[in-house]
């Protein structure tokens, strides 16, 4: 198993170098290379970021986009669309932040990532200790906030239609306006 993990990590690093203009992740033990996000996808991330900026400045938190997460002992390596972390971040290496030190991880669903963002990643993020996982799905017209991570998955889910308010619990204590996330 150790040799397989080293081989996967080597292939991942080489793939990252080869496809530096793409998003490269290890998802469920497979290397996934995706096109960079569309303008609409980037708009959703931007509108979320703009709602978070006041609280980030107030609490000296940082927001990163397209940054890789280290998911503890799991082989997977994800690059979420947006993460919020306390400053300074706890690094695994120069390119990966420990997932369990995040405050919020967000994925904006695209057609090629639907199963991974809705099914695979929630289980992995929960097992890695990510406290809040926000999934924004403009195509389905919904946002899901998963919280209370455990080794078997998140134990709480709040789902809203885009256009409805979505409350982020503590430490955010913030209501997101989701109408700006609609297609």
43: pLDDT strictly greater than 90: yes
Is 161 within a domain?
yes
Grade residue 19 by pLDDT with cuts at 50, 70 and 90. Answer: low
Buried-state track 133-143, b at ≥16 Cβ within 10 A, e below 16: bbbbbbeeebb
Bridge-based pairing of strands 68-70 and 96-98 is: parallel
Is 12 within a domain?
no
| Angle at 143 (CA atoms; ends 172, 175), nearest 5 degrees | 30
What's 68's domain CATH number?
Answer: 3.90.1570.10
171: pLDDT strictly greater than 80: yes
pLDDT at 2: 47
Number of other CB atoms surrounding residue 8 within 10 Å: 17
Strand (E) or helix (H) holding 8: helix 2-18
Count how many domains the chain has.
Answer: 1
How many Cα neighbours within 13 Å face the side chain of 135? 24
Q: Tell me the whole-structure pTM to 2 decimals.
A: 0.81
For residue 108, give its domain range. Answer: 38-181
Taking every pair of Cα atoms in the chain, the longest distance, rounded to a whole number of angstroms, is: 48
8: pLDDT strictly greater than 60: yes
pLDDT at 69: 87
Is 32 within a domain?
no
Handedness of CA 27, 133, 79, 61 (dihedral sign): negative
Is 23 within a domain?
no
Is 11 within a domain?
no
């Amino acid at each position: 198993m150790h040799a397989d993990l080293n081989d996967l990590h080597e292939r991942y690093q080489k793939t990252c170098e080869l496809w530096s203009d793409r998003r490269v992740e290890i998802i469920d033990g497979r290397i996934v290379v995706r096109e960079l996000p569309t303008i609409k996808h980037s708009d959703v991330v931007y509108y979320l970021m703009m709602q978070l900026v006041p609280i980030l400045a107030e609490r000296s938190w940082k927001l990163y986009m397209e940054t890789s997460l280290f998911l503890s002992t799991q082989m997977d390596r994800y690059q979420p669309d947006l993460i919020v972390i306390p400053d300074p971040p706890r690094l695994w290496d120069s390119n990966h932040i420990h997932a369990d030190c995040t405050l919020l991880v967000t994925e904006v669903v695209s057609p090629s990532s639907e199963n991974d963002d809705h099914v695979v990643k929630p289980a992995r993020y929960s097992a890695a200790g990510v406290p809040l996982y926000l999934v924004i799905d403009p195509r389905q017209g919904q946002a899901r906030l998963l919280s209370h991570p455990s080794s078997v998955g998140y134990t709480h889910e709040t789902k809203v239609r885009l256009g409805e308010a979505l409350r982020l619990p503590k430490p955010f204590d913030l209501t997101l306006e989701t109408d700006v996330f609609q297609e």
